[in-house]
């Protein structure tokens, strides 16, 4: 090395915390696979095959709810309890992992970058320094909402539908926890089809899905500033507006498309149709419960559900997908371009160019992952494009809905779905933080030259 030139110290690998989180989810999946492989986890003789145990463990830890076997009859009470524990572990792990990465980002960059990261990772400045406070809020909020939903469902099953108290408590607990954590596992062979017109069951579960899917940063800010919406962050505003818009549009479109379909909720009363459309719009956003057989839905309804699943829920929530804020930013980019504006803004705030690039990157990578997986699934299994696309979008977005073909897939098909579930769960979290941590200011700029676009 020539004299006078000092070697710049190597920077520590910036993705190490994200790698730890990925390894943590992988370890939980291995533990779940081991638990579900023992004979006590199944109702029949012998243990579950490795592929079945692994698929169920991946689905539970990633809070997807996609099942290759009937959860109600295949797994014993021990196996069902293990699935529920993995769902709770996965749900809490997702949001607490996000909080850890918030702190990592805030401490690995300078003041200017810290403020940018604060906006992009959706935390408020007063909470960046306290992992303990954030974690306690997450756990307390989760358990409180779950307790309310479990109580409501339990009372309905016990007092209204004649279940024994013990049976009502267990079924209420299982479905309440699964709903808040956006996992569509059910203790009924037909999922929730038997409650298709029971508002006292479906409404509490739907509300749990909505509350859990918004994301803890939004609830943290609403708790701190409940009466000052003008002071809410742009993240909170975009999340609430986009979530509400998608719920309304999903409800209107799905209800309209399936209104006359007697195979779904077309044969119900007006109130039943409205309830069915509402629940379908809510669960398509990442819960995975179903009150109808999606194989009986029209192709147009499946496509709308694909789009809702692909978007998913709020950032730093158990919900998957590219997230509602990513969709909002993409629409704002298009809107600004159509209007000929150089600045992309919302609620009187300009959105940094780095955030715009990150939203585009996440959306493009997610889209390509789904398209590639769909191609492999169509080539390796006897599936039509619509069914294959539905399975892949559902897996990547960790929604868990299915047209009923999951259990019929070969080993390659199930492996594809497992990879999609894992990537869809940890990918957006780690990728979003990686893009923030890798952001750096170039000390020079290249000469501009425009290619022909369009």
- pTM for the whole structure: 0.86
Q: pLDDT tens-digit profile of 3-16?
A: 444 444 444 444 45
Nearest CA to 131 out of 100, 91, 95 is that of: 100
Q: 234 — phi, psi (to 5°)? A: -65, -30
pLDDT at 24: 80
Distance CA 26, CA 9 (A): 32
Distance CA 296, CA 278 (A): 18
What torsion do the CA atoms of 341, 347, 348, 352 make, to the nearest 10 degrees? -60
Is 239:210 a contact under the CB 8 Å cutoff?
Answer: no
Structure tokens, 30: 């291995």
Distance CA 259, CA 143 (A): 37
Does residue 34 register a pLDDT over 80?
yes
Helices H / strands E in the chain, number of each: 16, 2
Does residue 85 register a pLDDT over 60?
yes
Does residue 319 register a pLDDT over 80?
yes
Is 207:214 a contact under the CB 8 Å cutoff?
Answer: no
Does residue 216 register a pLDDT over 80?
yes
Confidence of residue 450 (pLDDT cuts 50, 70, 90): low
Mean pLDDT (the chain, rounded): 84
Q: pLDDT tens-digit profile of 264-275?
A: 988 899 999 999
Nearest CA to 33 out of 6, 62, 70, 13 is that of: 62
Domains of the chain, by residue range, sit at 16-437
Token pair 């209007």: residue: 339
Q: pLDDT tens-digit profile of 357-397?
A: 888 988 998 999 999 999 999 999 988 899 999 999 999 99
Average pLDDT of the residues in 64-71: 92
Confidence of residue 310 (pLDDT cuts 50, 70, 90): very high
Q: pLDDT tens-digit profile of 341-367?
A: 889 998 888 998 888 888 898 899 899
Measure CA 160 to chain center.
Answer: 32
Q: 349 — phi, psi (to 5°)? A: -130, 130
Coil vs helix vs strand at 75: strand
Distance CA 118, CA 418 (A): 32
Average pLDDT of the residues in 174-196: 93
């Amino acid at each position: 090395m020539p004299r006078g030139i000092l070697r710049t110290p190597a920077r520590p690998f910036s993705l190490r915390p994200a790698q730890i989180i990925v390894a943590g989810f992988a370890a939980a999946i291995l533990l779940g696979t081991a638990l579900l492989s023992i004979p006590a986890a199944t109702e029949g003789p012998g243990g579950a095959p490795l592929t079945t145990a692994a698929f169920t463990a991946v689905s539970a830890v990633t809070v997807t709810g996609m099942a290759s076997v009937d959860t109600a009859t295949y797994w014993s009470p021990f196996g069902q309890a293990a699935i529920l524990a993995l769902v709770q572990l996965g749900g809490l792990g997702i949001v607490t992992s996000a909080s850890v990465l918030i702190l990592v980002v805030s401490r690995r960059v300078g003041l200017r970058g810290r403020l940018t990261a604060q906006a992009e990772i959706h935390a408020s400045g007063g909470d960046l320094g306290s992992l303990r406070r954030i974690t306690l809020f997450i756990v307390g909020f989760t358990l409180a909402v779950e307790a309310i939903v479990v109580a409501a469902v339990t009372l309905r099953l016990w007092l209204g539908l004649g279940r024994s108290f013990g049976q009502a408590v267990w079924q209420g607990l299982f479905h309440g926890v699964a709903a808040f954590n956006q996992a569509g596992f059910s203790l009924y062979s037909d999922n929730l089809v038997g409650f298709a017109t029971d508002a006292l069951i479906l409404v509490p579960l739907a509300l749990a899905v909505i509350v859990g899917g918004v994301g803890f940063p939004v609830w943290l800010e609403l708790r701190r500033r409940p009466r000052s919406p003008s002071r809410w962050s742009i993240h909170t505003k975009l999340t609430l507006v986009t979530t509400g818009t998608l719920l309304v549009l999903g409800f209107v479109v799905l209800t309209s498309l399936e209104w006359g379909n007697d195979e779904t909720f077309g044969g119900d009363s007006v109130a039943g149709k409205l309830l069915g459309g509402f629940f379908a719009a809510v669960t398509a956003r990442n819960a995975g419960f179903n009150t109808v057989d999606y194989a009986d839905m029209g192709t147009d309804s499946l496509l709308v559900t694909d789009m809702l699943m692909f978007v998913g829920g709020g950032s730093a929530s158990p919900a998957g997908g590219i997230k509602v804020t990513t969709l909002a930013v993409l629409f704002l980019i298009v809107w600004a371009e159509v209007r000929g504006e150089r600045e992309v803004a919302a609620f009187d705030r300009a959105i940094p160019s780095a955030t715009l690039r990150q939203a585009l990157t996440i959306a493009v990578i997610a889209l390509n992952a789904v398209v590639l997986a769909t191609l492999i699934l169509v080539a390796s299994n006897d599936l039509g494009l619509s069914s294959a696309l539905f399975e892949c979008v559902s897996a990547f977005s960790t929604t868990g809905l299915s047209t009923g073909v999951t259990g019929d897939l070969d080993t390659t098909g199930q492996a594809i779905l497992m990879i999609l579930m894992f990537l869809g769960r940890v990918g957006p979290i780690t990728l979003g933080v990686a893009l923030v941590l890798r952001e750096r200011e170039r000390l020079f700029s290249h000469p501009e030259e425009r290619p022909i676009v369009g």
